[in-house]
Amino acid sequence: MQSIRKNDKKGAYAMLENNWKDSAPKVPQEFHERFEETLRQIEETTISDNKRKNKKIRIRVLTVAAALCACMTVTVAAKEFLKWNVVLKERLNPSAEQQKALEETNYIQNVNQSETHNGVTVTLADSLQDQGILYAIFEIKTGADISMDRNTSFEHLDIKIDGKSVFGDEQFGTSGGGGGLAYLEDDANTSAHLQYYEVTFSYDSDYNLSGKNVEITLENLTEDGDKALEGTVVAQGTWNFEWTVGEINPETLLEVNKKCDFGGYEINVRSMEISPFFWKIYLDYQDAMKVYEDERNRFEYNGSDCGMDLYARTHIDAVRYKDGTVVNFDSALGGIGGGGELEDKKNGVVVIRNSFGQAVDVDQLQAVHFGNVDQWLEVR
């Protein structure tokens, strides 16, 4: 058997060097290079101990290579599943399987863009997009000379879709948006020099974000609130971020056609539209409007004996899956907002929309629980 020499390209290293990229094309180039360098060191170390036979050398090289490949597989997989921003994970509480599925269907995109101005680095970590919602989470890092607290903000925020500001754009119907620091359950994830900033834009029209170009601009870091609250600028700069939204799946339509007791009011639920993050419920108009015949349930009621409007009565705080599993949502931290109520007399429905308290498995969803009236509704 031919011995392996340091400069002999017929050795184990040479064979792997020639075939490595074809064998593991998805592995980063940096890993390719480090892997090959490790093989070189193995050969050199082994050859210096020339008492060993070639067969033993091959076994040693290939055994270490196999171990490295195993570590590489775990590392790459971990990177794929753990790259979500900590805020997004806390808001949605997804399983590893859900994380993968949500990325593959473009509900979540890992944007990972950074800009630094005057010692402040802002990174757009992830975006979430669905029918009627756009959400982005940013990481803010400052140097030792700039400290942040719960009142840190930006003087100006703008969101553009295909080059046009979304604020005041009638094609989105009733809409709203803004930004603010994220509140986390574990304060250890933030500090005076690390905070997270959330931007949300929601709307009730049928506008489809799929394939759209999104721009978010943050201007001038402030303390003691934003410009409207007379905040003080602590770092000037304009941080610009731009990305393209992937193809978003349409909501799943569930024909329900069942009566449900919404706190003393029997209302026919015609249907629901659901995605992993959001839901819309279509209530019979005549049934639903009986709630507002009692003035205590009206938004403008000023008395001390307040009732509940339809939005509150349809609040979903838990879901049940087909296998009987019940998932209760954390009302303090879960979900990403974006709710509203639309009275559509022409089509005979009242439409309520809101977000689930965390990511749900749409295919397995069997029932929803309206927490404020303590009622389950079978939707399948």
Has residue 48 been placed in a domain?
yes
* Residue bearing the bigger pLDDT, 141 or 57: 141
Q: 2 lies in a domain?
A: no
Answer yes or no: is 318 within a domain.
yes
Higher pLDDT, 159 or 229: 159
What does the pLDDT look like over 341-372, one tens digit per residue? 989 999 999 999 999 988 999 999 999 999 99
Looking at the domain assignment, is residue 261 inside a domain?
A: yes
Q: Is residue 374 part of a domain?
A: yes
Same domain, 177 and 287: no
Domain stops at, among 213, 244, 275? 244
Residues forming a β-bridge with 135: 128, 200
Of 224, 244, 264, the one marking the end of a domain is 244
Q: CA-to-CA distance for 273 and 294, rounded, in angstroms?
A: 28
Q: Give residue 256's pLDDT.
A: 97
- Please tell me the distance from the alpha carbon of residue 227 to that of residue 13, in angstroms, as a whole number: 62
Residue 311 exposed, middle or buried by CB count within 10 Å (0-12, 13-18, 19+): middle
Residue 39: its pLDDT value, please? 45
**Would you say residue 200 has pLDDT above 60?**
yes
pLDDT in tens, 58-83: 333 443 444 444 444 433 333 344 47
Query: Same structural domain for residues 209 and 114?
Result: yes
Using one digit for the tens of pLDDT, what is the confidence trace for 83-132?
788 888 888 888 888 888 888 888 999 999 999 999 999 999 999 998 88
Residue 241: CB atoms within 10 A of its CB come to 20
Judged against a pLDDT cut of 80, whether residue 185 lies above it is answered with no
Say what the pLDDT of residue 76 is: 39
CB atoms within 10 A of CB 150: 10
140 pLDDT above the threshold of 80:
yes
What is the residue type of 58?
R
What average pLDDT does the segment 181-189 reach? Answer: 77
- DSSP code of 280? E
**Are 216 and 95 contained in the same domain?**
yes
Is 3 among the domain residues?
Answer: no
- For residue 253, CA distances in Å to 194, 236, 311 come to 41, 47, 20
Model confidence at 223, in pLDDT bands (50, 70, 90)? confident
Radius of gyration of the chain (CA): 28
Asked if 125 and 139 count as a contact pair (C-beta separation under 8 A), the reply is: yes
Q: Which residues contact 87 (CB under 8 A, 6 or more apart)?
A: 137, 182, 184, 196, 198
pLDDT in tens, 229-246: 567 899 999 999 999 999
Residue 283: band (very low, low, confident or very high) from pLDDT cuts 50, 70, 90:
very high
For residue 341, the number of C-alpha atoms closer than 13 Å in the C-beta half-sphere is 15
231 and 94 belong to one structural domain: yes
More confident residue, 213 or 48: 213
Buried b (16+ CB within 10 A) or exposed e, 200-216: bbbbbeebebeebebbb
Which region among 135-149, 209-223, 247-261, 302-316 has the lowest average model confidence (pLDDT)? Answer: 302-316
C-alpha to C-alpha distance for 230 and 170, rounded to whole angstroms: 30
Q: What is the pLDDT of residue 333?
A: 61
- pLDDT in the model for residue 77: 38
The pLDDT of 155-163, averaged and rounded, is 95
Same domain, 21 and 51: yes
Prediction pTM value = 0.72
Has residue 137 been placed in a domain? yes
Domain that holds residue 138: 86-244
Which of 82, 102, 128 is a domain's end point? 82
- Sign for the CA dihedral angle at 195, 113, 163, 211 comes to negative
What is the count of structural domains for the chain? 3
Mean pLDDT lowest among 10-19, 161-170, 199-208: 10-19
> Quick one: pLDDT at residue 91?
83
Question: Does residue 20 register a pLDDT over 70?
Answer: no
pLDDT score of 224: 73
Residue pair 265/290 in contact by the 8 Å Cβ criterion: yes
